[in-house]
Amino acid sequence: MGLAALLSLSACFHDEDLTPLPIVTEGCLTDVAYEPARRLVGVYCADCHAQGGHNATHKDAWGHAIQLDTRQEWLDGKKHLLIRLQPAVATDEDPPVDVMPQLSFPFQPTQAERDTLIEWIKRGSPNTVSGFE
């Protein structure tokens, strides 16, 4: 194998390890008035679940799993979102599913940030600045 081929082979493997760039608040839930949801989903989910996400493999999620570009998609995903946002619930599924964001993702929400999203979902994700009706 020539040097060029070796180099392109290693470049190819390297691509798999590229740390995704967070798109942070842009391009997800754009029609949502509740800023904490836009911001948290922007940091922790949009890379893989928004159309403009930077994750090299985001198509695996955006194309085949849930899309989080709009509030309607968020509302439609309620059941799955509640499972995936709670680590204990995700591992309790039969078979277990991956908690979101995946543990390999470099940006991990705090428990308080998870709770902000979970509680907003449980309130029906009201589209107000306060996140309450």
HSE-CB of 109 using CA atoms within 13 angstroms? 25
Site map (CB under 6 A) of ligand HEC, residues 45-84, x = contact: x-xxx-----x----xx---xx----------x--xx--x
Nearer to ligand HEC, 27 or 101 (CB): 101
Nearer to ligand HEC, 98 or 119 (CB): 98
Helical residues (DSSP H) of the chain, grouped into ranges:
3-17, 35-44, 46-49, 58-62, 71-76, 78-85, 87-92, 111-122
Q: How far is the CB of 2 from ligand HEC (least distance, A)?
A: 34
> What DSSP character marks residue 59?
H
Nearer to ligand HEC, 15 or 98 (CB): 98
Cis preceding-peptide flag for 106 (omega within 30 of 0): no
Where along the sequence are the contacts to ligand HEC (CB under 6 A)? 44-45, 47-49, 55, 60-61, 65-66, 77, 80-81, 84-85, 97-98, 100-102, 105
